[in-house]
Amino acid sequence: MSDSLAGKLLVAMPGIGDPRFSRSVIMMCSHDCEHAMGVVINKPRQEVTLNEVLGHLGLEAGGNLGARAVMDGGPVRPDRGYVLHSADYAAGESTQNVAPGIRLTATREVLEAVAKTDAPKNFVLALGCSGWGAGQLENELKQNAWLVVDADNAIVFDSEHGRKWERAIKSLGFDPSQLSSTQGSA
């Protein structure tokens, strides 16, 4: 698929209509004619920390990582962990290259590395992911639900999650206040 959005950021427009995705930034991990999958990178789960997730696996984070926020990656498979991380870590075939300097691993092995302080230099842990069936994402794009932005490691791995939406929009060269919640066509 030549117009694949894998490796791009999807940024929710103000009028997206689904409150779960309001002001969301999604790192797109795969996209073809049959499906699309990404991870929301800017919606911390208020009730969960990294240490709590690791504790369910009988692990504990070393250093000051334990208090790190865990993202709500989306409504699909909310019981599964997805780790977007820097390219300094790989778990063989379980690791997928997503964009330059950004990889995805969704195995216990990456969480064990985090617990042993063998963690990737930069990482974001999310529970759940966002998924679309054939043509669904394309329809949402036609309805102006999303902006497409080039992936930027500084945005993906920024610990100030509340700033990611605004930063992603500003990377396109305009202010978020310029966005309209109404759709139109020329």
Low-confidence winner among 11-20, 85-94, 122-131, 171-180 (lowest mean pLDDT): 171-180
Say if residue 178's pLDDT is above 70.
yes
pLDDT number for residue 185: 53
Query: Which pTM does this prediction carry?
Result: 0.93
pLDDT number for residue 182: 62
Domains annotated for the chain, with CATH where assigned, are: 8-178 (3.40.1740.10)
Say if residue 134's pLDDT is above 80.
yes
Say if residue 69's pLDDT is above 60.
yes
Contact assessment for residue 91 and residue 104, using Cβ atoms and an 8 Å cutoff: no
Read off the pLDDT of residues 99-110 as tens digits, 9 standing for 90 and up: 999 999 999 999
pLDDT number for residue 184: 54
Mean pLDDT taken over the chain: 91
176: pLDDT confidence band, cut at 50, 70 and 90? confident
2: pLDDT confidence band, cut at 50, 70 and 90? low
